[in-house]
Amino acid sequence: MHDQAIAFTTPPAAPRWKRWLLFSPLARIVIFVLLFMALSFASGALLRPLGWLGKDAPATLHALAQFLMRAVPALLAYLLLVRFVERRAVTELAPRKLLPDGALGTLAGLLLFSAIVGVLYLLGSYHVTGTNPDAPWVPALLMVGLGAGIGEEIICRGVLFRIVEEGLGSWWALVISALFFGAAHIANPGATLWSSAAIAIEAGLLFGMIYHLTRSLPLCMGLHAAWNFAQGTIYGIPVSGTPADGWLVSTRSGPDWLSGGVFGAEASVVALGLCSLCTLGLLVLALRRGSLVPFRPRARREQALAPR
């Protein structure tokens, strides 16, 4: 069954130079990075003259610019990679999946983070001190919600997890994409080695398993965006170290390993534990389905998948 998970295989008639410089996993990752950097530079060049990226820009316009910078270059670079290098249909971003899978992911993200906050509340760590119905939710939705959810999921799951899985198998794809996801947050305000490790385990592994089982980027995007939005805008908890202005004005008490400290609840053992349980459940399901792609030399895998 695991062979069905491979979205791309090198064309059997491809010359040797194309196999290494165009179709190999490393080559496709490098091509994506170059496209992403070029499109990010172009986006910045278009938006800066408008003044939207400046600190003095209106909050909504600044947030819109940040959304465009985070989501659009990654999305366009991915579509170009799939269309002109892999030359296949973008099944993981199929239009028919966008709304239903995005909505399902959003619901899952809201429920999962609400469960984390609920446990913190029952343990006496999370406290609501007031409400703020005027919290600026639109900028938060655009930047830390949709911008991060779309951009980071394309990079970490659509490119890194998927392509590494095609080259090295599911286990290496999980480890490498999770480590990259955690390391990408190390420069955030209040970040520590513990917070990055927690994000790698609780979110990197969980999102990787969700993508592995569903082959749906909208599902991962919806969960990621809803997780961030719920954490900051609904519950008033810092999002990966970024201070939040939420509808609920809250504080957290107790040791940092429980509350998450200044980094937010993502660095809490509660988030780590609940997400790890979800990941374990998905892993058991994958093992029962036999969907995990084993590690074996890429040449042998492509020979096995080639039409006969």
pLDDT of residue 56: 83
pLDDT, tens digit, for every residue of 286-295?
999 999 999 8
Residue 199 — pLDDT band, cuts 50, 70, 90?
Answer: very high
Average pLDDT of the residues in 82-108: 96
pLDDT of residue 307: 45
Q: How far apart are CA 164 and CA 167, in angstroms?
A: 5
User: Is 301 a residue whose pLDDT tops 60?
Assistant: no
Nearest to 98 by CA among 75, 65, 80, 82: 75
User: Is 303 a residue whose pLDDT tops 70?
Assistant: no
User: Is 300 a residue whose pLDDT tops 80?
Assistant: no
pLDDT of residue 126: 98
290 CA to centre of own chain: 24
Check if the beta carbon of residue 221 is closer than 8 Å to that of residue 153: yes
Check if the beta carbon of residue 138 is closer than 8 Å to that of residue 63: yes
User: Is 296 a residue whose pLDDT tops 90?
Assistant: no
pLDDT of residue 297: 59
* Averaged confidence pLDDT in the chain: 93
pLDDT, tens digit, for every residue of 136-154?
999 999 999 999 999 999 9
Which has more pLDDT, 9 or 255?
255
- Please report how many Cα atoms fall inside a 13 Å half-sphere around the Cα of residue 138, on the Cβ side: 9
Cα angle for residues 39, 80, 308 (degrees, 5° grid): 155
